[in-house]
Copies of this chain bind each other. A is one copy, B any other.
Amino acid sequence: MTVIYKRVALIGLGLIASSMAHAMRAYGLAGEIVGYARSPETRMVALDIGLCDRVCDTAAEAVADADLVVLAVPVGAMGPLAEEIGPYLMAGATVTDVGSVKQAVIAAVAPHVPKGVHFIAGHPLAGTEHSGPRSGFATLFQNRWWLLTPADDTDPVAIARLRSLCEGMGANVDTMDAPHHDLVLAVTSHTPHLIAYTMVGVADDLRRVTDSEVIRYSAAGFRDFTRIAASDPTMWRDVFLSNKEATLDILGRFTEELFALQRAIRLGDGDHLHAYFTRTRAIRRGIIEAGQDTSAPDFGRSTPAAAPAGN
């Protein structure tokens, strides 16, 4: 239990910020936690559940005297927010963000960060399909990666301090440059999300299969897609618009591969399919060995303990 920042300002009080509030409090990492959200309703909920020590009515007020400012708003809102708070940032403070895209956020935010304030862009690879101030929990970052993409000339002491905070909340920290981050995430997160959204949309459009059938018979497969496709629409719109180049690049490769498999199905080329599916299975093993998921059956979800209803 070491206080790492005396005052942390959380701007935007969704899943990530509210989980940070719970985690920082649980592990005693912040002296005071100050919050702000644009929506009065969100601020009211935050007050109501005691999420922060203080909830402010403006972002400028929230960042005053904060030695850490966390921008936790959709990627598209980062620039205007940075412009608004820039003049109120304390000298020596650190500003970070939790956006899923890094090059676009850095381009939008950095120009508004005054000299003497450290800007270290970041991205915790953690989430659920829920959003809003009530969705946070203290263990969200436990054993998850938190990627930092600082500029080359960033003060190493400021980086080390932010790293301690992330590690204090249970995360593993890695640093990389922003363009590489955006490519890695296009593969591991952005394109999979777009694909899941698409598949769920197709099911919804298909009038020959009723909605209730799709919903009732959504055993493993589609069910996992709907979970991904339930993520926050505003956040994801901004991700795709601001990581356009890498996402389109990976999407191109994806459709190329998909057409090859589609052709194998049409031609009845079972060997091609079997070899492909065998190769992808090995990747899954790597993820379990890397500790990023469980090998428990039923996709890691708990099985009901009750006896069967029938008979």
Chain B CB within 8 A of A40 CB: no
Residues of B contacting A4 in the complex (Cβ-Cβ under 8 angstroms): 311
Q: Given A220-B127, A223-B293, A310-B169, is A265 in contact with B244 using a C-beta cutoff of 8 Å? A: yes
> Bound state CA distance, A174 and B217, in angstroms?
10
Min Cβ gap A192→B in Å is 4
Chain B CB within 8 A of A103 CB: no
Residues of B contacting A198 in the complex (Cβ-Cβ under 8 angstroms): 254, 257-258, 261
Residue of B191, B281, B310 near A168 (CB, 8 A) is B310
What is the count of identical protomers in the complex? 2
> Bound state CA distance, A266 and B87, in angstroms?
35
> Bound state CA distance, A276 and B204, in angstroms?
11
Residues of B contacting A255 in the complex (Cβ-Cβ under 8 angstroms): 255, 258
Q: B273–A241 contact, CB under 8 A?
A: yes
> Bound state CA distance, A140 and B299, in angstroms?
11
- State the main secondary structure of chain A at its contact with B: helix
Residues of B contacting A184 in the complex (Cβ-Cβ under 8 angstroms): 209, 213-214, 217
Residue of B126, B166, B262, B307 near A251 (CB, 8 A) is B262
Residues of B contacting A108 in the complex (Cβ-Cβ under 8 angstroms): none
Chain B CB within 8 A of A279 CB: yes
A148-174 interface bits toward B, Cβ cutoff 8 Å, 1 = contact, 0 = none: 000000000000000010111111001
Q: Given A170-B308, A170-B309, A209-B183, is A303 in contact with B230 using a C-beta cutoff of 8 Å? A: no
Residues of B contacting A81 in the complex (Cβ-Cβ under 8 angstroms): none
Min Cβ gap A28→B in Å is 8
Q: A287–B226 contact, CB under 8 A?
A: yes
Chain B CB within 8 A of A38 CB: no
Q: B215–A287 contact, CB under 8 A?
A: yes
Residue of B222, B225, B229, B277 near A277 (CB, 8 A) is B229
- Which 4 pairs show the lowest CB-CB distances between chains A and B? A167-B310, A170-B308, A230-B284, A125-B219
Q: A199-B254, A218-B292, A229-B277 are in contact. List 8 more A-B contacts (CB 8 A).
A: A139-B303, A141-B308, A142-B306, A174-B216, A185-B217, A201-B257, A224-B228, A248-B265
